[in-house]
Amino acid sequence: MEKPLMIALDFDDLAAVTAFLDRFPDPSQLTVKVGMELFYQAGPAIITDLKKRGCDIFLDLKLFDIPNTVRQAMAQIGQLGVDYVTVHSLGGSAMLKAAKEGLEIGAAKAGVDAPALLAVTELTSISDEVLKNEQHAALPMQDQVLALAQMADQAGCDGVICSALELTTLNAHLRPDFLFVVPGIRMQEDQTGDQVRVASPDQAAADGAKAIVVGRPITKASDPVAAWHRYQNAWQG
């Protein structure tokens, strides 16, 4: 899908994922996010299951280590046939370049397309206060995210994870085909949980997001399919 809505599958195990996805008439319409909780429990088997269902897959493991370790890990991930993966931009340009190299090596070995490499800028749970007083960043949030995104672009990444609040700045300074993937998406009537920098799907779309990530408002809904359609309609306009 050109502008995917990514459902965050924040479940404990494969059985819970199966029960959730079985409620959708056509899971091949879905883009789903597999994070650390699920992947560490189920391992690559979850990717195999999702591929059988025809889902597009965002493997969100947020690698953050020395360049060689990240390169070797991404060489393994590149063989899985997923569509998107993440690293932390704070690992620096050498690590980001190594991640890209590893993905290409792994994908070539498996004969699959390399996934898009997305660099996490600042987590949407990070407030301006935390950025200043705990991370001791010299830049305000908008400038910090922009600097990290520009570094990621120069290092060969295909896009970044950012909040909707930085989209206007990023769109003004980065190439049109750079991917801006936005978590922390909530309708006004939904609880924000541990997210701080949040926005509605229609606001994210208007400000230039290329994809959004929605978790609990869909996965914890009494009718997940209806919730997915509600968010999808707001997102796609």
Q: Which residues does the annotation mark as catalytic?
A: 60, 62, 65
- Tell whether residue 124 is among the known ligand binding residues: yes
Residue type, 161: I
Q: Cα–Cα–Cα angle for 91, 128, 188, nearest 5°?
A: 110
- Tell whether residue 64 is among the known ligand binding residues: yes
Residue type, 167: L
- Tell whether residue 133 is among the known ligand binding residues: no
- Tell whether residue 26 is among the known ligand binding residues: no
Question: Of 199, 237, 213, which Cα lies nearest the Cα of 7?
Answer: 213
- Tell whether residue 207 is among the known ligand binding residues: no
Burial of 3 (0-12, 13-18, 19+ CB in 10 A): middle
- Tell whether residue 168 is among the known ligand binding residues: no
Report the relative pairing of strands 211-214 and 179-182 from DSSP bridges. Answer: parallel
Cα dist from 206 to 32, 99, 118, 165, whole Å: 22, 31, 21, 12
- Tell whether residue 25 is among the known ligand binding residues: no
- Tell whether residue 10 is among the known ligand binding residues: yes
DSSP 8-state code for residue 6: E
- Tell whether residue 68 is among the known ligand binding residues: yes
Q: Find the helix or strand (DSSP H, E) in which 70 lies.
A: helix 67-77
Binding residue ranges: 10, 33, 60-69, 124, 186, 195, 215-216
Binding residue ranges for substrate: 10, 33, 60-69, 124, 186, 195, 215-216
